[in-house]
Structure 1
Amino acid sequence: MTVLVFLDSAFPDGRPADAGVPQLMINDLGVTRGDGIFESLLAVDSVPRKPDAHLDRLASSAQLLELDIPPREAWERAIATALALHAEAEADDAGHAGRAAVKLVVTRGVEGAAAPTAWVQVTVAPDAAAQREAGIKVLLLDRGYDSLSAARAPWLLLGAKTLSYAVNMAALRYARQHGADDAIFTSSDGKVLEGPTSTVVLARERNGVRTLLTPERRSGILAGTTQDALFKAAEAAGWELGYGPLVPEDLFAADGVWLVSSIRLLVPVRSIDGRELPFSAALNSELARLADAAL
């Protein structure tokens, strides 16, 4: 069941639309060229988690694409409308709103027009509980760019969350075809980057000092909203923080590795390229509790 609400200046709280019938023009540049941006966030019992962080990142992506998008207040109202409609439909169907995936999308609009196309989409969130508990197998895949490409070639839009996700989806298909569940991208000069839909986080303890680390953002990775929330909570709980650069051997030497995202949250990595990684159920639970409290 999908709820769809378009941002429309004639409808201050958003314009609900039937997701079961066509809504986009065939020459919308988001369809024909993937020219647009998006965000995905989790809502629990109709309350969105970290909406400000996602709206900030949406604005950052828009700036990189030189894309005019509706103001923050319009997004906040449309999100509220969509979640209320979803809760109403879910209450009729299942008795509660539960966990929902909220997607914010903006395209450059119909070719030749001046206005973007923007909408909020709400669906039931996929159940990732089994992965969060049991973990996943991962392959390292070369992204084809070196770690300095973001600064040298800003037109590549590295670090923006664009609709051009064909490469990310191809990486996931490749990993699954080769016996893994997910992937971690590396740069052509050997640095750890990110997952196709997630941020990489690792934990290690040295001489009694516990540290969480994630790859450096200047290497052209997307700023992780859930990773950022986890790091703030972990720092308050006494953890040290680190921001790369990281190489694959850092993953194998860690006490634990996770893929972190807004919908799945923290998913432990149990093996990389068939090589088993250390895993602590207690540590996994501790970090999951920190992330849940922060969000």
Structure 2
Amino acid sequence: MAAPLLALLDGTIADVTSPLVRADDLGVVRGDGVFDATLVRRGADGAPHVRDREAHLDRLERSAEILQLPAPDRAGYQRAIDALVAAWDFDARPEALIRLVLTRGPESGGDPTAFALMAPLAGSAVEERERGIAITLLGRGHDGDEVAAMPWLLPGAKSLSYSINMAAKRHAVQHGFDDVVFVAPSGRLLEGPTSTLVIDRGGRLLTPSQDGILASITLEHLMRDAPHAGLEVAFAALEPADLLSADGAWLLSSGRLLAAVTSVDGEPLPRSPLDGELRRILDV
């Protein structure tokens, strides 16, 4: 895997192997910080494009506000993104992810830590776009609307505290699956560790209600552009039976973009006849 590129908010490219974060940084010792990530790749015009750049910066700002962090230096992150894109070798690695990171800074006091990191998109993400993914359903301790009423649980924030999400994905892989969709105690479907669920029910596109769920920028993209193709995406209270009886389903995310769900806990799921249209809409 090619080495990632690191940029500071003044627009300089830094040595990714040199120390940047202090050992007592609260982002390291407590996961006290936020991040966002967006895909960068060449467009049809041959120029590199940062997908939904402004929307990801907006979400970084919302996440920082939820955690009561200082407002991100938006202009600085713009400089960092531009520097990374200018320095990236798109011939060698045509798709990459840029992560925007902001922590509370050193525990002993000081400025927040802020940087942007660009790394190649994982080959598995590209493969899963094409072949689809096998998912498993795993329980999560709270219903979405319960979390929404508990601001101390940081609903809607993309925080650095991602250990549970990553543990869920590791559990899935260890048991022969590619990814996860969480299920609330009420039995309602929620989201994946790093993705959003959309199902096709008789030509209607449905996605779980987003109470207490991180707002998906890829879903927003789909909801904005689907009507131009005669499709509509609606929020709904979905349960596992809705997924298992669907005409197809997908997981959406900023890096992988769109991956068809091929099975749920070993039960095969058909590929939706709308799969090609959603790929066109999302420019997969």
TM-score by structure 2 length? 0.92
Other-structure match for 2:208 = 215
2:281 maps to a residue whose letter is L
Aligned-partner SS, 1:243: strand
1:290 aligns with 2:259: no
Counterparts of 2:230 and 2:26 in 1: how far apart (Å)?
47
Do the aligned residues in 1 keep the contact of 2:65 with 2:71 (CA within 8 Å)?
no
1:187 aligns with 2:187: no
1:122 aligns with 2:118: yes
Counterparts of 2:6 and 2:241 in 1: how far apart (Å)?
44
1:51 aligns with 2:53: yes
Other-structure match for 2:45 = none
What is the RMSD of the two structures over their aligned residues, measured on CA atoms? 1.5
User: What CA deviation, in whole Å up to 9, does each residue of 1:47-87 have, x standing for no partner?
Assistant: 20100111111111111101113332221111101111224
1:153 aligns with 2:150: yes
1:247 aligns with 2:249: no
Match for residue 23 of structure 1 among 13, 20, 24: 20
Matches within 5 A, 1:1-295: 1-7=3-9, 11=10, 14-45=11-42, 46-87=48-89, 94=92, 98-127=94-123, 128-205=125-202, 210-218=203-211, 220-280=212-272, 282-292=273-283
TM-score by structure 1 length? 0.89
Structure 1 runs of 4+ off > 4 angstroms?
A: none
Aligned-partner SS, 2:122: coil
- Structure with greater helix percent: 1
Unaligned runs of 5+ in 2: 43-47
Do the aligned residues in 2 keep the contact of 1:256 with 1:279 (CA within 8 Å)?
yes
Unaligned runs of 5+ in 1: none
Aligned-partner SS, 2:152: helix
User: What CA deviation, in whole Å up to 9, does each residue of 1:169-208 have, x standing for no partner?
Assistant: 1101111111111100111111111000111111122xxx
Aligned-partner SS, 1:103: strand
Aligned residues: 276
Give, in angstroms, the shift of residue 275 of structure 1: 1.2
Counterparts of 1:125 and 1:233 in 2: how far apart (Å)?
25
Counterparts of 1:122 and 1:181 in 2: how far apart (Å)?
24
Aligned-partner SS, 1:278: coil
Aligned-partner SS, 2:88: helix
Counterparts of 2:208 and 2:108 in 1: how far apart (Å)?
40
User: What CA deviation, in whole Å up to 9, does each residue of 1:136-163 have, x standing for no partner?
Assistant: 1111001111232223311011221000
